[in-house]
Each structure stands twice: as structure tokens, then as C-alpha cells.
Amino acid sequence: MGILNITPDSFSDGGEYRDPNRAVEHAQRMIAEGADILDVGGESTRPGSLPVEPDEQIRRIAPVISAVRSHWNGPISVDTTKSAVARAALDAGASWVNDISALRDDPLMAELAAKTACPLIIMHMLGSPRTMQEKPQYDDVVGDVRNFLSERAQFAESSGTHRENIILDPGIGFGKTTEHNLALLGRLREIVDLGYPVLVGASRKSFIGQLAAAAVDDRLAGSLACAVRAVDLGAQIVRVHDVGPTRQALAVAAAISGH
């Protein structure tokens, strides 16, 4: 899953793709490098970020989704917690919804996902993006996240979303310390064992920088290590900034595992 942030303030590439033409060019580049899915968002969810009004999110993302859809048939995911934004994105050509609030932020999102029968990503987050990194604490981070995702998946099913359309995301970096992130990645099979496809988004995140003393634009190697390990432990989707290198790393790792 290639990341396309159409925002001025995302933690890694904020402002790079605010221009619709540049955003479409970047989408085409990721597709050429082997992206299976594109995840398009118009609201930064970096630690400390503030909400963006739905109308502004739609203004940012709808033209880009429409332009990409005109020449590509692959899945386009909209990264939003707002049903109005998701509806506009689906109308523009998106086909997945990526809700980091796990259907808690907007009560109409569950209904929309069920009615449209779209794949739905539900993620664990402690608090909100503005507050999530203020001393996050858990009894057992893996057990707590696992139980939360199980409950939210059951809620999605009870709201009409088919089980096969639900994808779980443990929310690496969303209300977690470095140790929490490492535990979730190391014990990822406990999330996989819930029986849903699992998505991992660790690309360029701050815990990599803390572990490797690396600035945000120098975290490729650490991001690749996370992606390879996540897939080895059962993740079916990795959400990444660097599609080409990740494709190469995963292909080599798969070839080694096959011998």
C-alpha cells in the first residue's frame, strides 16, 4: 500500500504533494514501482495534529482520486474518519475506507461501509492524534490492542460489513512508545490469529528514528526491516512511503524463505 498524503503537515512528506498534479505524478510513480493499493489522505494524523474539516479534506483528495482512477483500476483507499469524506472519495473512485478511529469518530461510517460493501481498515489508536503520545500506557499492549481490534471488528460485522471486508491495523505509532511498537511487531501473530487480514504501517515512524538515531528522511533501512518482519509474521498489507525498495526487500525475503 503506497501512501499519498495530500496535506501540508504530515510528519514525513507534508506539503510535497499538495499540488494535485504532483500528487497524481507521485501516485503514478508508486504504481509503476509496484503498489497494489494506494492510500490517499487529506488530513495529517501525526502526533499533535489537529482535525481538518471534511469539506477541506474533500477539496484536497477528490480531484486526485478521480484523476488516478481515470488510468488505474487498482484499489484506492481513502484515509479518513469522516463518513462525508469517505462518501465523496468513493464517489470519486476510491474503493476502500481506512478509518484510524475504528468507526468511533463518526457514527455514520459503519453504515456507509456496510451499504457500499467496501473493504474497511480499522485501526487501534489511544486517544486522538493530538493527544495520543502523551504518556501512553497499557496493561499489556499486545493483549489490549488485540482485544480492542476484535471488539471493533465484531462491531463492524454487526453493523453489516462482511467479515471478509475487514482488515485490522494495530496502529504502530498511534499512542505507543518505542517499546509498545516493538512488542506489537514482535508478537504480531497474536493479532493475525484473530483471523482477519492485518495491515502494518511502520514506514519512517519515529520509533525507527529513536532506535537508529535517524532523521525522518533517513529511515528507509529501518522501514524495510519492519516491512519484511511484519510480512514474515503474517501481515498481508504493509503501508509504506517507499514502494520500490519495499517491493525489492519483500521479493528477496520471500525467495530466501522459499529455500
* pLDDT, tens digit, 9 for 90 and up, residues 174-223: 999 999 999 999 999 999 999 999 999 999 999 999 999 999 999 999 99
Nearest to 123 by CA among 80, 75, 61: 80
- Cell numbers placing 53: 474539516
Residue 9's pLDDT band, with cuts at 50, 70 and 90, is low
Domains of the chain: 2-257 (3.20.20.20)
For the question of residue 59 being annotated catalytic, the response is: no
Nearest to 149 by CA among 179, 177, 172: 172
Q: Which of 46, 82, 87, 205 is catalytic?
A: 205
Name the burial class of residue 92, with classes exposed (0-12), middle (13-18) and buried (19+) by CB atoms within 10 angstroms of its CB: buried
Across the range 105-130, mean pLDDT stands at: 93
% of the chain at pLDDT higher than 70 = 94
Q: What is the pTM of this model?
A: 0.92
Q: Looking at per-residue confidence, does 186 or 10 come out higher? A: 186
Q: Which of 46, 87, 219, 239 is catalytic?
A: 239
For the question of residue 239 being annotated catalytic, the response is: yes
Least confident of 65-79, 91-105, 124-138: 124-138
Across the range 36-40, mean pLDDT stands at: 97
Name the burial class of residue 139, with classes exposed (0-12), middle (13-18) and buried (19+) by CB atoms within 10 angstroms of its CB: exposed
Beta-bridge partners for 98 = 79, 121
Average pLDDT, rounded, for the chain: 93
